[in-house]
Structure 1
Amino acid sequence: MKLNIQEIKKNSEGLSFDQQLELAEALKARNAEILDVKEIAVKGTVRYEDALYFLDYTLSYTIVLASSRSMEPVAKKETYLVQEIFMETDSSPVKQELIEEELVLPIEGDDIDVSESVADNILLNIPLKVLTEEEERSADMPSGQNWQVLTEEDYERQQKAQKAENSPFAGLQQLFDED
């Protein structure tokens, strides 16, 4: 979905849009962790003001990722607001500085590509920890023969206990027990 910058400039109130997008294959090609992306919906506006294009939209979608523990597919519904500022590239040093400092995004060609913005924002918001509902309710971690997954807190507790056990003074502790 592309929005022409000349059309945006003509409309003083800005252009509104409400679209369903199909980007699953493009997103899977860019990130192998994504199993599927469904129901991508964008609703918002783009407006022109003082040589800047303001793109504001609500993005909602369902992303399917593998669980961090069991590798089972997990569907997560996401909705959030996206706000981006674009600027036409020209030779003005002030404008080039804004683009270089990543305060604004450059417009390449005559269009603002909303689909590219949507894809980039979905990729930037992939969660690191993905769990099934059952895994979220359970405190059980995966384990096997001679191995187990520990939380950071469990690992620290285990390290403290092991350090105390291996202390050269651990044997002397029994001498002072009053029992």
Structure 2
Amino acid sequence: MLNIQEIRKNPDGLAFDKKLDLTEELKGRNAEILDVQGIVASGKAQYEDGLYFLDYDLSYTITLASSRSMEPVELQESYLVNEVFMEEGKTASQELIDQDLVLPIEKGEINLAESVADNILLHIPLKILTAAEEAGQGFLSGQDWQVMTEEEFAAAQAAKKEENSPFADLQGLFDE
């Protein structure tokens, strides 16, 4: 928690470097998350012209299930987060809050853990693959079916079309 009074007192901003353990909260909010480790947020919060700026580097390791095989995949993430907060109650600020341009400050504090959790959830990729799956291996198959790339499918369709051609029987007729 970052108190807005402390932020106002420091003209250069209030620096922080926090290690957070949000694994259970994140698992509760998104069932796709298997594990989150090493969450570190370091940056500063500043006050300027009625606005509170929260800028920090966020890094962590998240474990998610592969989109294709459901095997656990660890992803190293690191990115910058920039958020703008404003105290509620002012008419000008309420318009900005309603338009989602700024976030409201509740109870005189900026909740860093909530910001970190929200940003981790926002950065979960839709497509998660193991190293073998990214290399083009590990496609699933079964009895009379298999998963194939678009290129493999196009080649199979071309071969099938050539095979079903009425002129396919004439192939090799004049080879002798």
Could you tell me the TM-score, scaled by structure 2's length? 0.86
Spell out, residue by residue over 1:73-96, the C-alpha distance to the aligned partner (whole angstroms, 9 max, x if none).
11111100000000111131x222
2:143 corresponds to which of 142, 145, 148: 145
Letter in 1 for 2:19: Q
1:171 corresponds to which of 161, 166, 170: 166
Q: Distance in 1 between matches of 2:119 and 2:13?
A: 22
Q: Which residue number in structure 2 is paired with residue 115 of structure 1?
A: 113
Partner SS state of residue 93, structure 2: helix
Distance 1:165 1:106, change over 3 A: farther
Q: Distance in 2 between matches of 1:141 and 1:34?
A: 23
Q: Distance in 2 between matches of 1:153 and 1:138?
A: 12
- Which has the higher mean CA deviation after the structures are superposed, 144-153 or 61-70? 144-153
Describe how 1:17-166 pairs up with structure 2 within 5 A.
Answer: 17-92=16-91, 94-155=92-153, 157=154, 161=158
Spell out, residue by residue over 1:129-157, the C-alpha distance to the aligned partner (whole angstroms, 9 max, x if none).
212222222434111113222334545x2
Spell out, residue by residue over 1:108-147, the C-alpha distance to the aligned partner (whole angstroms, 9 max, x if none).
1110001001000000111112122222224341111132
Across the aligned residues of Structure 1 and Structure 2, the Cα RMSD in angstroms comes to 2.5
Spell out, residue by residue over 1:21-54, the C-alpha distance to the aligned partner (whole angstroms, 9 max, x if none).
0000000000000000000000000000010000
Q: Identity rate of aligned residues, in percent?
A: 58
The runs of 5 or more residues in structure 2 that have no matched partner are: none
How far did 1:178 drift?
9.7
Q: Distance in 2 between matches of 1:149 and 1:68?
A: 13
Q: Distance in 2 between matches of 1:162 and 1:137?
A: 25
How far did 1:158 drift?
6.2
Q: Distance in 2 between matches of 1:166 and 1:91?
A: 74
User: How many correspondences in the alignment?
Assistant: 174
Q: Distance in 1 between matches of 2:173 and 2:97?
A: 73
Structure 1 stretches of 4+ with a deviation exceeding 6 A read 172-175
Q: Distance in 2 between matches of 1:89 and 1:20?
A: 29
Q: Distance in 2 between matches of 1:134 and 1:172?
A: 41
Could you tell me the TM-score, scaled by structure 1's length? 0.85
